[in-house]
Structure 1
Amino acid sequence: MQRIWRRLTGDYQLAIITSVGFLGLVALTPFAIYRLSHADWLVGAVDIFLILSTCTAVAYAWRTGDTLRPGQFLAAFYSTAAVLVAINLGVDGLFWFYVMIVFNFFVVPPLQSTIATLLALAALSGYSLAGQGHPFEDLPQLVSFAITAIITSVFAMIFAARGRVQRRQLHELATIDPLTGIGNRRALETELVRVFAEHTRYGTAYGLLVLDLDHFKRINDTFGHKAGDRVLRDFVSIVDSACRQSDRLFRFGGEEFVLLAPQVDLDGLEQVARNILRTVQAELRNAEGGEVTVSIGGAQALWQADYKSWLHSADECLYQAKHAGRNTIVIDGAGAKRQPTLSDCVQAATP
């Protein structure tokens, strides 16, 4: 239950699609039963189809994590259903058209929502103008409905677009380090949960490096925090140039960073660390042009019970690297059968 709640609170679109599925099941089922019992076969069939389609889309979103395609699917079918219901029930069916407009702007991007709404409105208007009669009694009624539907769409589009921008901004505030522009500790923990689950299930190889700038406090104390901030930004750029495109760097806190390296064995992880160590020593400078070095501890995802143990293993090796004199690499070489000791880390040191 906690896992379900975490997914709902962490994924806005999934929560919307799930809410629509629940509301659709509760709201449409009585209508479907009533209409089928009164031999209103077309609208009853549409209601049943909407219920089944909604449940299928929700199940697909939960199983795959993809919320865009289920949203597009639901927007298309709800728009079609709104037109069919309005044609069949006349004016009484037009009330559902406004529900469809708001729904579309919640489940798909604003441009796609606008297109779906305009197509549905055009189909409904075209049917009436063709002389079929339903759902409008005369041209003024059609024009009034079209104008109110468009106004509703405009307000829904503004609200939806603004909401998407705000959600994106909140996500960036929650997961991006404002100084360096890379993922923060929250983003790191989220990614570690995902990749460790992937490693456990499929055996995907992952390596982890914990990087700590040597004597960084001296830089702040000597040159000021502004100079220290510049060193941190330069460090991120240098590490990015020294590692592979698939590697991801996160700021763990202060002057400590974590690099997540996929598809590496022990030798590959050491090579990534060596490249970073050499490049940082050669290129990173303080305000007076003095070199700034980094200590690195690393571990593969092997024996650990969870991502916290994995991170702790790499952090223990970082401690050994700093204890050994800094500007040093220590990689956990204990293997998959047991938890490494500090002596294992020292033996695996790669200066």
Structure 2
Amino acid sequence: MKPTRRDFRLDIIILLGSITGVTITVFGIYRWLSGQHALAWLDFAIVACVMLPVLYAWRTGDSARAGAALCVLNSAGTLAACLLAGHTALTWIYLVLLTNFFIANRWLAASANLVILFGVQLLPDFFHDGFHATSVAVSVLLITGFSYIFAKRTQGDRARLEKLAAIDALTGVPNRRSMERALADAVDTFQRTGRNYGLVVLDLDRFKDVNDQYGHAAGDAAIADLASILRFEMRRNDQVFRFGGEEFVALLELDNIEDLDTTTERLRKAVRASLRGPGGRITISLGAALLREHEKTWHDWFSRADAALYRAKSAGRDSYVIADDLF
């Protein structure tokens, strides 16, 4: 498994699935030794059903499918336990009601919980009396309702936090963390499909002079303006990131090195024509590299483009260099 980002649901699936598997296995062994072979076989079957989605999630990183499968299996297993063990299995119901919202989307979890509720109501002689059945139904509905509200709120908060963590506050473009993820995805796509990618690393020329003469506010304004120009120049499938300081990275989908050369020069000219500071025109230097077959990680690819940038700086700035295979 090679997940590109931290997946809270995936962590929960692996953790809860593993704990559930171990716990139910212990119960199964105890029941087998106690002569309750039918219940023991049920326990072992549940363990097998639980661990299959867990292993799938661990190997693929697909938490959505694995979580949905676990939600359905846990709910079905709970109903089966209630059918075989009677009301003593009620303790499992409340645990499943809660965990369904951690491992699956809230609509599926709520639906599964309602199926459990109606399922146990239909079991003959499951409850002591009508009051017992009503109290269980109210408890299930309250747990489901509060869990649904909690899941909805945390999902929204998590999405906002992930967005904030991925965007540079000054420029509004994705930050270095997002860049690393995008470059890793590009390398993976290239290895699988052969789709070509170009990488352009660029930064402002003599940026220290801008900060020293006109202050950091002027420097921040120049960085923000540069980000706006680059964002405008990106084509539909291109992406731009702030790497740090005055340095930016553009990830480009293109056909060949000639396209990379043309696009890099276009970016240089666009910035030269549009970017101004208190002291007048501000230019950039750029280094670019086409992704090559021997590069299995984005670091090697980035290093070639970054080294090309330094060559452009050494050549007098306001210029660009395309890395070649021997560089």
Report the TM range for the smaller structure's normalisation: 0.7 to 0.9
Q: Counterpart in 2 of 1:73?
A: 69
Match of 1:196, as an amino acid?
V
- Matched to 2:225, the amino acid is D
Question: For residue 230 of structure 1, what is the aligned residue in structure 2?
Answer: 221
- TM alignment of 1:68-217, pairs within 5 A: 68-125=64-121, 127-128=122-123, 132-134=124-126, 136-199=127-190, 203-217=194-208
What count of residue pairs does the alignment treat as equivalent?
A: 325
Whether 2:282 is the aligned partner of 1:292: answer: yes
User: Match for 2:62: what amino acid?
Assistant: D
Is the Cα–Cα contact under 8 Å of residues 50 and 74 in structure 2 kept in the other structure?
no
RMSD: 2.9
In the TM superposition, residue 252 of structure 1 has moved relative to its aligned partner by 0.9
Change in 2 beyond 3 A, CA 1:271/1:170? same
1:249 maps to amino acid: V
Name whichever of 194-203 and 86-95 sits farther off. Answer: 194-203
- 1:316 and 2:307 equivalent? yes
Separation in structure 2 between the aligned mates of residue 265 and residue 53 of structure 1, nearest angstrom: 49
Partners of 2:101 and 2:43 in 1: how far apart? 21
* Larger relative contact order, structure 1 or 2 (CA cutoff 8 Å, min sep 6): 2
Instruction: Give 2:72's aligned amino acid.
Output: A
Which of 240, 243, 247 is the aligned partner of 1:249?
A: 240
What residue number does 1:349 align with? none
Unpaired stretches in structure 2, ≥5 consecutive residues: none
Unaligned runs of 5+ in 1: 341-351
Query: What is the TM-score of this pair, normalised by structure 2?
Result: 0.86
Task: Name the SS of the counterpart of 2:251 in structure 1.
Answer: strand
Match of 2:27 in 1: 31
Q: Which stretch of structure 1 is more off in the superposition, 101-110 or 157-166?
A: 157-166
- Give the conservation status (yes or no) of the 8 Å contact 1:243–1:272: no
Please tell me the residue identity of whatever aligns with 1:133. D
1:253-284 superposed Cα distances (whole Å, 9 cap, x missing partner): 11101112235421121122122222222333
Separation in 1, partners of 2:112, 2:6? 27
SS of the aligned residue for 2:180 comes to helix
For 2:250, which of 256, 259, 268 is the aligned residue? 259
Offset of residue 24 of structure 1 = 2.3
CA shift at 1:237, angstroms?
A: 2.7
Q: Distance in 2 between matches of 1:76 and 1:147?
A: 22
Identical counterparts, % of pairs? 35
Residue identity in the other structure for 2:228: S
Displacement, 1:18? Answer: 1.3
Q: 2:31, 2:4 → 1: CA distance?
A: 33
